[in-house]
Structure 1
């Protein structure tokens, strides 16, 4: 029986991190990082202001799944994102390089191209980046830095532009109106996507959208299927009647305080 990969999930107490720690525990030799001590012995206390500490934590792992970030989109000020989403992302990549990690799965965001949505245009992973705010611009930085580390150092980097995810939530549990019918990412599709990103062979760098098989989705998943083998199973349309019955304005801005990435 092949030895299980060793995978460390950063930001493992967040919305996405919690799901991965629960649902991939029987697939990988799994550890997680958190800013504060946890009762689960798999967790390491780690912030990303110290490259040496991060490199020590990463040593011996095959993959880093980087979910550590500030994910509140409600400000256009740089300062809230500068530590975790800019400097912290550099520290993560550099720590992975120093530790000899083979692959980084980086949690980017649909907000890296969010302006297309604002003007009603579709986009795919090859479209020019058009962030809809400082948060999205910081995610673009993380993608670009990953490209540099892939080219310069041979680190394998898979960037996932996550749609709308909340821990164990169905579309009707969100408060963004009809938008969720396009952008929802279910639990099992999230887990499949991350597992494919860890396992897909022969990739040095790639950017992929993370969304379920929603009938109304406007992000193209072609390269996620052909390069990662990602085939989402869930469709938000199953919940359309309930979502639309709740009413409310179709919302792009100001919905992130519930933990969306």
Structure 2
């Protein structure tokens, strides 16, 4: 599908800057954010993503929307704000896109939608690697907001007026975190299950999802090719749980440090291939 104009909600945020920088090389990109974009040559507008009328007007003339705007961390917001912005903002963005005649929306969810990150003791991966068919059971507000986000996305896809694809990035690492990554990787109880992804690779996956010829609803984990763990993934997982879940496929044979959240679907369908590992950041 050919696009000319793309709108990125939350495009002035930490991830948004990487997405906008990448997409502007090929498209006419504009940003909706409560902060102005600092990417040269990119226009931005301060529009509340929970304001349907204003967002519909902002989407007029756009071919595609990348919906990044959300509360990205449950520890930096009240539960009420986290749930409202993440769920109502997604509904408004998709309704506005539909009303404005947008062709495709890429919705950013999270691998936390599985409910595995904050890990109740009785909720461990049912099998490894965790793929997009794995059961989900969120147990706190941020993960729940992402499950609802994905339900809203599926709903609008079923309606058939706008194409919707969902991206589930792993924990996106930015420069302030680099010195901590080695320590996190050696922590058996790391609450991200040692998963991570560079923002550049998330931007790659988003572009691939925009350009994918099949607009039917789909969901994709995006992560690095490995985990933060320097010990083999199955070894550290067995130590964490006291047992090893069912292992499917041969990914851990070819890459013993492969991530818990599998990226095989994104590789096969989108052609996604992560370019960065945590070692590229000088983290030890």
Structure 1 residue 23: Cα displacement? 2.8
**What CA distance in whole angstroms lies between the structure 2 residues aligned with 1:37 and 1:116?**
32
CA spacing shift, 1:95–1:103, aligned 2, 3 Å: same
Larger Rg: 2
Q: Is the 2:111–2:168 contact (alpha carbons within 8 Å) kept by the matching residues of 1?
A: yes
Which one of the candidate residues 209, 215, 232 is aligned to 2:274? 232
The answer for the alignment partner of 2:135 in structure 1 is 128
Partner residue of 1:203?
Answer: 215
Q: TM-score, structure 2 length as denominator?
A: 0.75
Number of corresponding residues: 241
**Alignment-derived partner of residue 85 in structure 1:** 86
Write out aligned runs for 1:185-224 (5 A): 185-214=197-226, 215-224=257-266
- TM-score (norm: length of structure 1): 0.81
More off after superposition, 197-206 vs 19-28: 19-28
Residues of 2 paired with 1:239 and 1:29: CA distance?
A: 31
Gaps of 5+ in 1: 244-261
Distance 1:4 1:168 in 2: 32
- Given the alignment of the two structures, is residue 161 of structure 1 paired with residue 171 of structure 2, yes or no? no
1:78-132: CA deviation from partner (whole Å, max 9, x where unpaired): 4122331121211111000001111111110111013278344232101122224
The alignment's C-alpha RMSD in Å is 2.8
Aligned partners of 1:116 and 1:130 also within 8 Å: no
Instruction: Give me the whole-angstrom Cα distance separating, in 2, the residues matched to 1:44 and 1:131.
Output: 33
Shift of 1:12: 1.2
Change (3 A) 1:199 1:127: same
Asked if the contact 2:10–2:69 (Cα under 8 Å) also holds between the matched residues in 1, the reply is: yes
Structure 2 unmatched runs, 5+: 227-256
Q: 1:30 to 1:173 in 2, by over 3 A?
A: farther
Distance 1:131 1:95 in 2: 27
Query: After superposition, what is the alpha-carbon deviation per residue over 1:215-243, rounded to whole angstroms, capped at 9, x for unaligned?
Result: 3411111211222121222233x369954
Cα 1:29–1:233 shift into 2, 3 Å? same
In 2, distance between residues paired with 1:38 and 1:31? 9
Please tell me whether residue 29 in structure 1 is matched to residue 28 in structure 2. Answer: yes
Query: Per the alignment, do residues 37 and 235 of structure 1 end up closer, same or farther by CA in structure 2, a change over 3 Å counting?
Result: closer
Any runs of at least 4 consecutive aligned residues in structure 1 with deviations exceeding 6 A, and if so which?
none
